[in-house]
């Protein structure tokens, strides 16, 4: 299965034009009226699972998540915070963090954050510190890209239960979810045929099911489980919520941030979530990771480039399809995540030396990552 080092797709909700723009700070029922925060939070505190959506690079989304966590914790201190950002293998590191045994840099290093997740850990540290301050357990509910790829390519029955961490196969997606995923895939610059589309959909279902399974396991312990998950997995109860229902978790609610900034105010559609929080995020800077812009797969000597995005750092560096990247910054590569982890650590305006093999000859290529503009 190919890995893209060009950034992740996000599903977008389809808004409707609003007659009256909600004021920032209001809680709204999509398609309905303003909600009283005290009544809403009292309701949420009785749920087994509450899902907080995010756009990963939006700092205001993470600030909203932190404030919502604090409100829920005041009513339901027996809380567990579940994270999409890390695979289950990182659980010992999360436990050590909550216990106060690790500093920030040690946490980033030992969790392999930059390999597992493509976004600046500084966006998440306020929430991580909240968990440590209040001794709220953190739970990793994702899986590695390698396991996700095996489940898609080999199928669930072919992967032994122990190797798939006991995770069960996903229930069939709703037709509307398949349609939304197909629309996202159609925007893919290197989209393929129907078979590739089906692989893309199956990969999303593995992702959804893995997170839902982890949430359901924690919910059995009678704590309030609050999941921090990309909003595309949550909207309209299509992704993770749909898989949670199949796992018997009926007592759940999804909350989403909703932008009310800009000239044209939109209103969320009915059924988008249990509630949305009106947010003026016009001043929030997106903190996107560096991207090389290649599709790669594992190779016995490193990672092999299959295609390159037009206008990408890779194209400007002179990389070509068929190149084998042997080393990045002197580090040997054996799988796509080795490369993606190093790329994500690059700062704007820096160079990343790549040792490649092309037609049997080895050479060095310098990938130059653009500096941030003053407007970003």
Read off the pTM.
Answer: 0.84
Total number of residues shown for the chain: 376
Residue 61's closest CA among 277, 270, 261?
277
Question: What does residue 152 show for φ and ψ, rounded to 5 degrees?
Answer: -75, -45
**Token pair belonging to 324:** 């084998």
For residues 192 and 283, give the distance between their C-alpha atoms in angstroms, rounded to a whole number: 37
For residues 318 and 316, give the distance between their C-alpha atoms in angstroms, rounded to a whole number: 5
Contact residues for 3 (Cβ-Cβ < 8 A; gap 6+): 145, 295, 296, 297, 336, 337, 340
**Token pair belonging to 327:** 């080393």
Mean pLDDT of the 313-317 span: 93
Give residue-wise pLDDT tens across range 288-299.
778 898 888 889
Q: Which CATH number fits domain 22-279: 3.20.20.10, 3.40.50.11550, 3.40.30.10, 3.40.50.300?
A: 3.40.50.11550
Residue 313 in contact with residue 370, Cβ under 8 Å?
yes
Domain boundaries, the chain: 22-279, 294-368
Give residue-wise pLDDT tens across range 101-113.
999 999 999 999 9
Residue 203's closest CA among 143, 163, 162?
143
> Beta strand 79-87 with 224-230: parallel, antiparallel or unpaired?
parallel
The CATH class that applies to domain 294-368 reads: mainly beta
pLDDT higher than 60, residue 15: no
Contact residues for 154 (Cβ-Cβ < 8 A; gap 6+): none
Distance of CA 336 to the CA centre of its chain: 17
pLDDT higher than 90, residue 270: yes
Give residue-wise pLDDT tens across range 62-118.
999 999 999 999 999 999 999 999 999 999 999 999 999 999 999 999 999 988 998
Tell me the helices (H) and strands (E) count for the chain, helix number first: 12, 17
CA 141 → CA 86, 137, 163, 208, distances in Å? Answer: 7, 13, 15, 10
pLDDT higher than 60, residue 8: no
Residue 334's closest CA among 148, 146, 165?
146
């Amino acid at each position: 299965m190919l890995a893209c080092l060009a950034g992740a797709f996000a599903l977008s909700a389809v808004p409707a034009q609003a007659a009256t723009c909600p004021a920032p700070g209001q809680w709204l029922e999509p398609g309905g009226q303003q909600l009283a925060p005290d009544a809403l939070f009292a309701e949420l505190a009785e749920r087994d699972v509450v899902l907080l959506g995010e756009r990963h690079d939006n700092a205001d989304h993470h600030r909203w998540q932190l404030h919502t966590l604090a409100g829920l914790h005041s009513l339901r201190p027996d809380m567990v915070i579940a994270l999409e950002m890390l695979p289950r293998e990182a659980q010992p590191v999360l436990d050590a963090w909550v216990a106060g045994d690790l500093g920030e840099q040690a946490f980033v290093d030992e969790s392999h954050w930059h390999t597992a997740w493509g976004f600046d850990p500084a966006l998440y540290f306020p929430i991580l510190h909240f968990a440590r301050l209040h001794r709220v357990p953190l739970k990793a509910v994702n899986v590695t890209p390698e396991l996700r790829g095996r489940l898609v390519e080999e199928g669930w029955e072919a992967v032994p239960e122990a190797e798939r961490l006991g995770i069960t196969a996903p229930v069939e997606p709703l037709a509307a979810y398949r349609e939304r995923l197909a629309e996202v895939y159609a925007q893919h610059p290197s989209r393929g045929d129907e078979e590739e589309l089906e692989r893309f959909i199956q990969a999303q279902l593995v992702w959804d099911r893995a997170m839902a399974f982890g949430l359901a396991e924690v919910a059995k312990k009678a704590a309030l489980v609050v999941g921090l998950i990309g909003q595309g997995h949550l909207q309209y109860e299509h992704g993770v919520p749909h898989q949670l229902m199949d796992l018997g978790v009926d007592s759940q609610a999804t909350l989403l941030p909703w932008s009310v900034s800009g000239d044209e105010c939109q209103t969320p559609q009915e059924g988008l979530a249990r509630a949305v929080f009106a947010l003026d995020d016009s001043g929030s800077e997106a903190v996107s990771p560096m991207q090389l812009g290649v599709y790669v797969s594992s190779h016995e000597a490193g990672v092999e480039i299959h295609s390159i995005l037009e206008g990408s750092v890779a194209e400007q560096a002179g990389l070509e399809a068929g190149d084998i990247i042997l080393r990045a910054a002197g580090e040997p590569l054996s799988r796509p995540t080795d490369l993606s982890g190093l790329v994500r650590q690059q700062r704007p305006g820096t160079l990343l030396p790549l040792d490649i093999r092309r037609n049997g000859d080895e050479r060095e290529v310098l990938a130059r990552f653009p500096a941030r503009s003053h407007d970003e």
